[in-house]
Amino acid sequence: MRRFAVLASVLIAAACQQDKIGYVDNIKLMEGYQEKKDVEEKYQARAEVLTKKRDSISQAFDLELKAFQSKAQSMPQTKAQEEYGLIQQRAQFMGQQLQQEEQTLQTTGQTEMDSVVSKVKREITAFGKNNGYTYILGGGEGGSVLYGVETKDLTEEILSILNEKYKQ
């Protein structure tokens, strides 16, 4: 009988324990995170510089091509074809260089953004552990929370921690 009472009290205690669950709106969290905004701004500024460089090279090449076309009329055809071939090679080389710069920029931007996402995930995990959460679910677009009571929304609290740590 005594064993039954102990077992019953253990089962009742276990039944009374509830998992502590919260959720984070992923989109709202990322949109409000200053480091993410800074990474995007930096990437955008680099992309604008590359676009200006591409435009400048394109304009210079267009001018050179027009000058060549005027000059080519008075050249022997074989010489004109030879020079035109050299101009095409240079244009192709410049295009490849610009494309490589663009790919490097995209890779760097993606690496930086991946780092930001990893930092956010680590902070959510640390927050959950430090505050006794059993689960912290992700909401927003593509998230797993279709509905959550506002009191379980941890987005602002975690966003505040992230931005405070980023300031430091």
Model pTM score: 0.74
Structure confidence at residue 28 (pLDDT): 93
Report how far apart, in Å, the C-alpha atoms of 74 and of each of 70, 129, 160 are: 8, 80, 71
Structure confidence at residue 1 (pLDDT): 53
Structure confidence at residue 32 (pLDDT): 96
Query: What is the rounded distance in angstroms from the CA atom of residue 130 to the CA atom of residue 88?
Result: 63
Query: What is the rounded distance in angstroms from the CA atom of residue 51 to the CA atom of residue 56?
Result: 9
Q: Residues 68-80: pLDDT tens digits?
A: 888 888 889 898 8
Structure confidence at residue 37 (pLDDT): 96
Query: What is the rounded distance in angstroms from the CA atom of residue 24 to the CA atom of residue 35?
Result: 18
pLDDT tens, residue order, the chain (168 aa): 555 444 444 444 444 468 899 999 999 999 999 999 999 999 999 999 999 999 998 898 888 888 888 888 888 989 889 988 998 999 899 999 999 999 999 999 999 999 999 999 999 999 999 999 999 998 887 777 777 788 888 999 999 999 999 998
